[in-house]
Structure 1
Amino acid sequence: MSGLSTHVLDAVTGKPAAGIRVALFRATDGEIAAADTNTDGRVPELLPGPIDAGNYRLSFDTGSYFETLGTETFYPEVSISFVVDDPDAHYHVPLLLSPFAYSTYRGS
């Protein structure tokens, strides 16, 4: 299985963060894909199939998410840059989110 997926967990509520707009950018091409997280906080196939080697960035519209909750946030957007070195691999980039902190890792 190759391609790119992501998911967002709201660390304050301990629940998936649904409805967050996620955009994928490639350094050489600009925005190449976008989707909203589903009710499980996931975008299971933001970019299905092989993903070309190169530098990429995921942008999460966290400001709109927290606005709908009526919650102040320090991070209106979270951007995660990463490198694809194996086009045949699957890349999963999770985001653990709270209004004043976030973390990420390369998932499986």
Structure 2
Amino acid sequence: MGKLTTHVLDTMHGSPAAGMSVMLYRLEAGQAGRLIKQLTLNHDGRADAPLLEGEALQPGRYRLVFGVEAYFRGRGVALPEPAFLGEVPLDFGIADAASHYHVPLLASPWAYSTYRGS
């Protein structure tokens, strides 16, 4: 059974990004994204359950939006106004609904990277 998961690591502090907000959108051609889920990451920087799984996981285009600026401000990091990074959107495709798609984010106030994890 396929599933979609995420995990965020705070590379500034060397810790999971506990408390970061995440929104998941389904993208359709020629339309604005449709919000599917909104959540706050747990103490390990993960969602408490898969973002999508089973029949809810369908092939198509998706977007995860991570609240990087709000997270770092909440940690007491002095950021300029406006912050270099606000919300970080990651667009990705799901081709095989039977597979596990893990979308991690490594983030600081000034940089981020991602990859398809396992």
What amino acid is the match of 2:94? Answer: V
Matches within 5 A, 1:3-82: 3-28=3-28, 30-43=34-47, 44-50=49-55, 51-71=57-77, 72=79, 73-82=83-92
For residues 24 and 100 of structure 2, the distance between their equivalents in structure 1, rounded to whole angstroms, comes to 15
Query: Deviation string for 1:7-26 (max 9, x for gaps)?
Result: 00010111000011111101
- Greater fraction of residues in strand: 1
Equivalent pairs: percent with the same residue? 49
| Correspondence for 1:85 | 95
For residues 15 and 37 of structure 2, the distance between their equivalents in structure 1, rounded to whole angstroms, comes to 25
For structure 1, which segment, 81-90 or 25-34, has the greater mean C-alpha deviation from structure 2 after superposition?
Answer: 25-34
What is the number of residues matched between the two proteins? 108
Q: Over aligned residues, Cα RMSD in angstroms?
A: 1.3
Is the partner of 1:12 in helix, strand or coil? Answer: coil
Structure 2: unaligned runs, 5 residues or longer? none
How far the C-alpha of 1:47 sits from its partner, in A, is 1.5
Normalised by the length of structure 2, the TM-score is 0.85
What amino acid is the match of 2:102? Answer: H
For residues 75 and 33 of structure 1, the distance between their equivalents in structure 2, rounded to whole angstroms, comes to 22
